Structure 1
Amino acid sequence: MMFDQIYNFLRYSESLSSSGMPTAEQLSEAPKHGVQVVINLAPHDVPNAIPNEGQLVNSMGIEYINIPINWGTPTKDGLDKFMDAMEEHKDKVIHVHCEANFRASAFIAMYRILGLGWTEDNAFEIMHKIWDEDAFPVWKLFIDGMVNQGSEKFLNIMLGLYNKRE
């Protein structure tokens, strides 16, 4: 199976793509596509995670970065680490993945808005091809809070209240 056939694969540019969880076989295709950095936003214990993914990626001469983002509790700290990684490697070919490309596509959209000055419409257009944050209230609150540079304290209170409902 080809690299660009990974679940929910999105190509943003010649130097940026994202997807859901690849198989080891799919990930082994990354060098053929010029990938120089893989950023995994999924925790290592998610279903279908590749055992020793970091070692596999490094063995192909590709830099591996894992920033585990809990689906139910995304954080500003996680987004800040992601934005730092994107900025540090902005001149390289980057592939970002998670489980279903929801975290990855959302973080890329927020990076484009907050780090590169994109408009929300342009930044979220590609993400909305595969999912809509309105269906996931925790993510809607998180994205709105980060994009609108709302008070982090307010965001944490709202996320805390939402999570207590369940």
Structure 2
Amino acid sequence: MKNTLFQFLAGCFFTAISLSTQASDTVEHSPLADLKNYQVNTARMVSSGLPNRQHFETLKSQGVTHVIDLIPGDRADEIAMMEALGLGYHNVQVDWENPTLANFDDYVLSMQQSLSKDGKTLTHCRLNWRGAVFTYLYRVTQLNESEQSARQDMLAIWQPNETWQAFIDQVKAKYQQH
């Protein structure tokens, strides 16, 4: 009886280790595991740092139909990739040192257009710092989500510096007037 109990417990132990290893392998080998600062913001909004083609393909398979790119400059390569993948695309050229109300207004319009259709929208920049701020502000000013919950998600990505905190304050002041 003692030997049988030992065999049973040993079997349970090795099964638990095997299941644990499989679960961690799944997380570590997820196609999005190396996508910088990937975050699910709402059921229809996700954000991240700069995805590569494999990331975009995976995101598309997970329901992303529209991409909002916050990186300034020549975005011709990404535009071509989005066309090839059949994803909607909009670029809001946000200068890191000078984000503007016009940038956010452009973002709001693009989000409203994309969320009026089926699918999810990906907001991205290089590290998801701009993206974290823009998705936070959209959630608070447009979706009337909890300030605490949306801010917690933003802070999980980064702590806004002085320039970006001033931008946040400016956007919130504008939209709280309406």
- Select which of 49, 73, 77 maps to 1:44: 73
- CA RMSD in angstroms comes to 1.9
> Which residue identity lines up with residue 84 of structure 2 in the other structure?
S
In structure 1, what is the Cα distance between the partners aligned to 2:57 and 2:124?
14
Aligned to 2:37: 8
| Structure 1 residue 84 corresponds to structure 2 residue 112 | no
Offset, 1:100:
0.6
Q: Secondary structure at the match of 2:115?
A: coil
Tell me which moved more, 13-22 or 72-81: 13-22
Report 1:1-166 matches (<5 A). 2-3=31-32, 5-44=34-73, 52-91=77-116, 92-133=119-160, 136-149=161-174
Return the offset for 1:51. Answer: 5.9
Shift of 1:102: 0.7
Spell out, residue by residue over 1:22-76, the C-alpha distance to the aligned partner (whole angstroms, 9 max, x if none).
Answer: 122322322211110011001135xxxx761011112111101111101100000
Distance apart, 1:149 and its partner CA: 2.6
Larger Rg belongs to? 2
Q: Can you give the 5+ residue segments of structure 1 that lack an aligned partner in the other structure? A: 151-166
> Could you tell me which amino acid in structure 1 is paired with residue 155 of structure 2?
H
Output the CA distance in 2 between the equivalents of 1:4 and 1:93: 19
> CA contact under 8 A between 1:37 and 1:64: conserved in structure 2?
yes
Distance in 2, Cα, partners of 1:142 & 1:14: 26
SS at match of 1:125: helix
Native 8 Å contact 2:67 2:87 kept in 1: yes
Bigger share in helix: 2
Q: 1: CA distance between counterparts of 2:174 and 2:57? A: 38
- Residues 97, 4 of structure 1: alpha-carbon distance in 2 compared, 3 angstrom cutoff: farther
Normalised TM-score (structure 2): 0.74
Q: Percent same amino acid among aligned pairs?
A: 26
Give, in whole Å, the separation in 2 of the partners of 1:9 and 1:17: 7
Work out the number of aligned pairs and report it.
Answer: 144
* Cα distance between partner residues in 2 of 1:120 and 1:14: 17
- Which residue does 1:160 correspond to in 2? none
